[in-house]
Chains A and B, each alone.
Chain A
């Protein structure tokens, strides 16, 4: 497909388990962003990649969160020892270069039970 693809679309996990969320950006897009949207809340920026590098990881909510990007393409957001407050929709966006418009995927809805 031509758009940003995220998988899985839905994930239910038990508290304390680790989860991996995947983002396939639009082909050729160098910038990639992760956001989180909790129920009824606005979008919260988590992390930005330019190529495979993330200049600043301080937007991640805690040290249980990590993200990587390989080959300048696919990105994975990992949450270790999930907590109920991690329940949210995790959204990925990509743009051709930093300053061009960003396109979003449909998100992964994470539910921690």
Chain B
């Protein structure tokens, strides 16, 4: 059970902003929202994470709703190299599995010329 819901696929035109939604309605107060992406044939790449405040780094912005039940990853100017599967993950601690990431099916983002 991945605890998140994402659309299976999205398209975005090169140069435009890509807005990837994620629902996590059962998130607990101490659980972070993490985003990773996996470009074909590569290992997953960390993008960004947040708890309740919006976050921005050199790769993306993360907008978390006030009730924390959903979030949006924003790639401000998508390029062809941003074509990948994007995973939204609610990360929680478990004494036996540490902070293992529970990857769901993610959103396959296709950036088109």
Interfacial residues, chain A to chain B (CB-CB below 8 A): 4, 31, 33, 35, 42-43, 45, 48, 50, 55-56, 58-59, 91, 93, 95, 98-99, 101-107
| Contact between chains at B103 and A91 (CB < 8 Å) | no
Q: Which residues of B contact A59 (CB under 8 A)?
A: 97
| Smallest beta-carbon distance B73→chain A, Å | 15
| Contact between chains at A45 and B99 (CB < 8 Å) | no
| Contact between chains at A56 and B96 (CB < 8 Å) | yes
* A45-B101, A101-B34 known; A55 vs B46 contact (CB < 8 Å): no
B56-100 CB mask vs A (1 if < 8 Å, else 0) is 000000000000000000000000000000000001010111111
| Contact between chains at A31 and B98 (CB < 8 Å) | yes
| Contact between chains at A104 and B44 (CB < 8 Å) | yes
Interface of B is mostly: loop
* Complex partner residue of A42 from B34, B49, B105, CB under 8 angstroms: B105
| Contact between chains at A42 and B99 (CB < 8 Å) | no
Q: Which residues of B contact A101 (CB under 8 A)?
A: 34, 46, 49
Check B45 for interface membership: any CB of A closer than 8 A: yes
Cα distance A101–B35 in the bound complex, in angstroms: 10
| Smallest beta-carbon distance A108→chain B, Å | 10
Q: Which residues of A contact B49 (CB under 8 A)?
A: 101
* A56-B96, A59-B97, A98-B98 known; A103 vs B103 contact (CB < 8 Å): no
Q: Which residues of B contact A45 (CB under 8 A)?
A: 97, 100-102
* A42-B105, A101-B34 known; A106 vs B99 contact (CB < 8 Å): no
